[in-house]
Amino acid sequence: MNLTIETITKRFNGKAAVDQVHLDIPQGQLVGIIGRSGAGKSTLLRLINRLIEPTQGRVIFGASEITKLRGRRLLAWRARCGMIFQQFNLVKRLDVLTNVLIGRLSYHATLPSLFKQFSMRERAMAVQALERVEILDQALKRVDTLSGGQQQRVAIARALVQQPELILADEPIASLDLRSSAMVMDTLKKINQEDGITIIASLHNLATARNYCHRIIGMSNGRIVFDGSPAQLTAEAVCAVYGVEQAREELEEDPVYIPEKIALQPMMESAVSYS
């Protein structure tokens, strides 16, 4: 199903964190959202999942207007829309398998869930999800004994057992080392390719977005300032997204942009001299 965001806006104390954003995202895309801290990336994801309410605008997924959902229908949407967080949001004192099964809570009454009364089918789903993210051998360990990268893969497995139609990942690799980051992004890419699930990830690293995503959306001050393929993300566009100073850092040592960096150098030096 396609995701449509129509002029969505969110204001906090009168200031727009997301400002008149419009997007059409076809099913099956792997989309990266880039931008400086405070650009509105995380707020936009939370608006899609209805973790926060929009000030105005609409979110539509398939035939459902998500911004109108209430009660059980809203809970059902959150089950259809898997969410992966930077800090994993796992229950650290529980084992890995139980943490994955928590992804099935929206399908249960509260009391049976408290006693881990999950069906054999659900346990099989959890085992299969752990196998897909290559961490089944850790299933019975307490989750707080795992590395950050392993915990994030547990969080992805938890999202998978929700049987989602859309996955939102909010800075899923921001706290991970390079090797763990690659494993997490490889896992998300594999899910996107094999299951055809739309994945939208806010990413702090430009190179990661360029290497993994079909489409890149650049945000600045709550607005979209770039929307295109990785090939269309020129050094000039990077400057529009990050501002000159941070763009210089993002472009550093990236061979893709070396010719453009040379051409843009006078513009960068001029911008710095007037700041």
Domains plus CATH for the chain? Answer: 3-233 (3.40.50.300), 235-275 (no CATH)
Q: Which among 245, 257, 132, 125 has a CA at the least distance from the CA of 194? A: 132
pLDDT tens digit at each of 275 positions of the chain: 899 999 999 999 989 999 999 999 999 999 999 999 999 999 999 999 999 999 999 999 999 999 999 998 998 999 899 999 998 999 999 999 999 999 988 776 554 445 567 889 999 999 999 999 999 999 999 999 999 999 999 999 999 999 999 999 999 999 899 999 999 999 999 999 999 999 999 998 889 999 999 999 999 999 999 999 999 998 889 999 998 888 888 877 466 665 555 455 555 444 443 33
Task: Please give the Cα distance from 84 to 213 (Å, whole number).
Answer: 17
Residue 271: the pLDDT is 43
Residue 247: the pLDDT is 82
Task: Please give the Cα distance from 230 to 206 (Å, whole number).
Answer: 10
Residue 260: the pLDDT is 55
pTM (2 d.p.): 0.89
Tell me how far apart the 2 most distant CA atoms of the chain are, in Å: 66
Task: Please give the Cα distance from 156 to 263 (Å, whole number).
Answer: 41
Residue 272: the pLDDT is 41
Task: Please give the Cα distance from 173 to 63 (Å, whole number).
Answer: 32
